[in-house]
Each structure stands twice: as structure tokens, then as C-alpha cells.
Amino acid sequence: MNKSIVLAASLLALLLLTVLSVRVGAVPVPFGDIGSTLLGEPNKSYFIVHDVRLPRVLVAILAGMGLAVGGVILQGLVRNPLASPDVIGITKGAGFAAAALIFLFPGAPGYALPMAAFAGALAAFAILLGLSRRLTLSPSALALTGIAVGAVFQAGTQYLIVSHPADVSMALLWMTGSLWSRRWKDVLTLLPWIVVLVPLVWRLYPKLNVLQFGDETVTSLGVNLRGERLLLLLLAVALAGISVSAVGAIGFIGLVAPHIARSLVGAKHQWLIPVAALLGADLMLLGDAVGRIVIIPREVPVGIMTAVIGAPYFIYLLQKERWKLR
């Protein structure tokens, strides 16, 4: 399939889903009001579009891109199709650290949340590496170890919920993953990280391509394997941590988006990274839009909708790896 066409189609889908996501909800917004709001003209839907749905949509796009690109990095580094921020516990670690900051230090400044989420994601991955002692795990071992690490951090988050019952509603939304009540301050917190880190990852695509050849081949080419892996791992952890700090523990975006992208454009990261980023944003917007209309006037958190899509896909991948071993 022509890679340029796939990239253009992914971008077009993003534009269409953006408009759809702004329009749908408990109060549908006419297309004319969306256009008027974007032009700065007053209309009856201005508050809903400008102050409620636009920031929500932008947070969804940015977080979807961050989780998807983080998944691309992890799958490329460990050469494992089951590697993703949520499957190997990074998302749960970031969620625990962010929840701890919210519960224990409610007066902390806004910029502290992404830093806490990054620290939690880094801690989760450090524990995973300590348990595995190597990066080239078998798919099943990586999945099981990551699930165990994630379970520990999720247990910590649940303890915080029990210890702070007054904030239980917010905590449950956080654990599920939600875009509810996102505002422009959330966009401004997330935007600089994604705008800097995603292009930086793309600029490093030659390194990701080389790392696909195996450790011995890469070392023979004179590449500092340890240093390159460390840099890319830190970028993956940062993208996952920052994204989770904005939307909560949303799963499967970092697993599904890279796989779909790889099936469309192949394993060359100069194409895989941008297509996966767009598809991650597409999946996040689609899940959020469907979640807002399925039980109007209530809404289903986007984390549940992405799990409905991602969990069966994860099972399919496990079965696929099992068939390979036969």
C-alpha cells in the first residue's frame, strides 16, 4: 500500500473525527456553530465548543499521539509485538505516581503532575528491567511480567482510594481513563511535551531502524547499543508518563495503533512513527465520541471504549504468538 496515501488518509480521518467529536454529545452542536466559533464569532454554542469540547478534543489528540509513539518505541526496542506502555506496566506506574500527587499533595502546582507521572513511569520500567534482567524477552514473559508490575502499582492506587474516600469519584475516573472536564490548562500542560518529544523521536528513526537487526549486528556497526537504548527508553517513558498525567490510565492505544500502522506501512520507522501517532489520536477521538453518545445524557469513559477495542486485539496477538511457537 502506498505509504503517502496511508499517511494522508490517517490525517484526513483525524480531521473528520475532530469535527465529529466537537459536534456530538448530550448537546449536539450544528456544524455552522463550530465554524463560527473557530472564526471567533459569537453564537449560541460558543461556550460548549470553545470551553468544553475543543480542549477535550485537543487533549485526546495529544495523549493519543504520545501513547502510540511510546508504543512504537517499546515494540521497536524489544522487538516484541506485545510491548506497549500499558501492557508492561508503565501506564499503571505513571497513574500511581500522579494519583499519589493528587491525593497526598492537593496543593501542588500544575507542572508537578507531568513530572510525577514521568517518575512513576520510569520507576515501573526500572522494576520491569530489574525483574527481567534483559530487554529481549519472549512475548509471553514480557506480557506476564508487565502485568505483574502493573498490578502492584494498581494495588497502590487502590490503597490511595481507600485511604481518601472523599476523592473516590475522581480516582475511579483516573483509573479508568477519562477526558471528562478537560480544559485549556490541560492542553497547555501536555502540548509542549508532545510537540517536542514526538518530532524528536521521529528524528531518531534511523536508530530505531538499525536496532531491528539484533544486538550483535548493531554492535558490529559501531553503535553504542546501551546509550541508544537508554535514550529511546527515556523518551518512551516520558511520552507515556506525560500522556497518562493528562488523561489517566487509558490502555491499549500504545498496543493497537503501532500494530495497525505496521500492517499498513511496514516496519520502517520514518513512516511507522507518524502513521502510528495519527492512528493513536484517531482511536482516542473515536473512543471518546462513541462513549459520549452510547448512553446519552451520560457518557462512558474513553478508557472503557479503548479497552473494548484493545482487549480482543491483545488476545488475538497472544494467540498469534502462540501459533508461531507451534
Q: Which three cell numbers stand for residue 36?
A: 463560527
Residue 20 has a CB neighbour count (10 Å cut-off) of 15
| The pLDDT of residue 147 is above 90 | no
Residue 301 has a CB neighbour count (10 Å cut-off) of 23
Span 204-238, pLDDT tens digits: 998 888 887 766 666 666 667 777 878 888 899 88
C-alpha angle 173/235/171, rounded to 5°? 10
User: Amino acid letter at 52?
Assistant: V
Span 72-90, pLDDT tens digits: 998 888 777 777 888 788 8
DSSP run (H or E) holding 2: none
DSSP run (H or E) holding 88: none
| The pLDDT of residue 320 is above 90 | no
pTM for the whole structure: 0.90
The pLDDT score that the predictor gives to residue 222 is 67
The pLDDT score that the predictor gives to residue 318 is 72
For the chain, domains (ranges, CATH) are 70-325 (1.10.3470.10)
Q: Which three cell numbers stand for residue 64?
A: 493519543
The answer to whether 204 touches 232, Cβ cutoff 8 Å, is yes
Span 269-283, pLDDT tens digits: 999 999 999 999 999
- CA-nearest of 93, 24, 88 to 52 is 24
User: Amino acid letter at 193?
Assistant: W
Distance between CA 176 and CA 178 in Å, rounded? 7
C-alpha angle 66/68/71, rounded to 5°? 110
Higher pLDDT, 87 or 21: 21
